[in-house]
Amino acid sequence: MKNEYRPFLSEIKEVIKHTDIEYTFRMAYDGEVKPGQFFEVSIPKFGEAPISVSGMGNNSVDLTIRRVGKVTNEVFENFVGDALFLRGPYGNGFDVNDYTNKELVVIAGGTGLSPVRGVVDYFSYHPEELKAMTLIAGFKTPKDILFMEDFGRWMKNMEVILTVDCSEDDAFCHIGLVTEYIPKLKLQDVDRAVAVVVGPPAMMRFSTQGLLAAGFREENIWISYERKMCCGLGKCGHCKIDDTYICLDGPVFNFVKGRKLID
């Protein structure tokens, strides 16, 4: 019988620094993985933390890690030429087939861009599989922008709205909250358009409200939740909401189900 708790050592192939506190770690991994799934990343002595997959490559997965806790602090301190322990991937992840041949709007706030980056990337390489695509990405300040090098590429075949909460001198992006851009979306058929929203709880609440007000159908919206998870296996209980285990049944939910999940 497999011991699901046993982590494997994965080599850090590359570190991409986005901001002072957000780096992407390109980790050696050759199994199947979907965007929006997550790994339990650990450093013995400091513990485990669930980190979502922000990109998939040949024999690698990208884990974008924000330095905000005990484990992630240690990851930032001691990664040079090193390896991290991983187990996973866990969770359902995004299914790109849900969006094919439709107009897709992705709304991401801060590190919320990580779990959907794989989706955005997929359609940037396969634009013919969508009718149209818009990415609205919001960050606190220009200094906090993640995946800057990707935005240039994405802009070539999708509508990209990059916005920051507060004003600082940078002409590259807009100023304001992501929600301001929802009513301005130019859609052919809002009744069939699909949307993905990932970010901090308040941003997700207002963005989904905005989408519904703009005429999106509930069943055409997907969200991804972040919760404390000690196991990723439906055992530890921390992520449970109602009868739903975010780690098993999520973290990606259709809004029809997601909107009913009250912590």
Residues at the interface with another protein (CB under 8 A): 1-7, 9, 42, 44-49, 66, 68-72, 83, 85, 200-201, 226-228, 230-231, 233-238, 240, 242-243, 245, 248, 260, 262-263
User: Between 171 and 262, whose beta carbon lies closer to another protein?
Assistant: 262
Min dist CB 243 to another protein, Å, is 4
Q: What is the 3-state secondary structure (H, E, C) of 76-125?
A: HHCCCCCEEEEEEEECCCCCHHHCCCCEEEEEEEHHHHHHHHHHHHHHHH
Which of 177, 167, 180, 110 lies closest to 144, judged by CA? Answer: 110
Task: Write down the least CB distance from residue 169 to another protein, Å.
Answer: 27
Q: Least distance (Å) from another protein to the CB of residue 66?
A: 7
Residue written as token pair 């709205």: 161
H or E, element range at 61: strand 60-66
Minimum CB separation from another protein for residue 11, in Å? Answer: 11
Looking at the Cβ atoms of 31 and 44, the one nearer to another protein is: 44
Closer by beta carbon to another protein, 100 or else 141: 141
Amino acid sitting at position 94 = F
98 burial level (CB within 10 Å; 0-12, 13-18, 19+): middle
Name which of 62 and 226 has its Cβ closer to another protein. 226
Nearest approach in angstroms of CB 19 to another protein is: 14
Cα distance between residue 185 and residue 101, in whole Å? 18
> Closest separation between CB of residue 196 and another protein, Å?
20
Give, for 128, the enclosing helix (H) or strand (E). Answer: none
Tokens describing residue 171: 């002409």
Could you identify the residue written with the tokens 């009513």? 183
Residue type at 145? I
Residue 221 near residue 211, CB atoms below 8 Å: yes
Is the CB of 216 or the CB of 225 nearer to another protein? Answer: 225
C-beta of 33: minimal distance to another protein in Å? 17
Closer residue to another protein in complex, CB, 77/191: 77
- Residue 172: CB minimum distance to another protein, A: 26
Quick one: the chain helix, strand, coil %, rounded to 5?
Answer: 25, 35, 40
Closer residue to another protein in complex, CB, 102/251: 251
Nearer to another protein, 79 or 85 (CB): 85
Q: What does DSSP say about strands 194-198 and 174-175: parallel, antiparallel, or unpaired?
A: unpaired
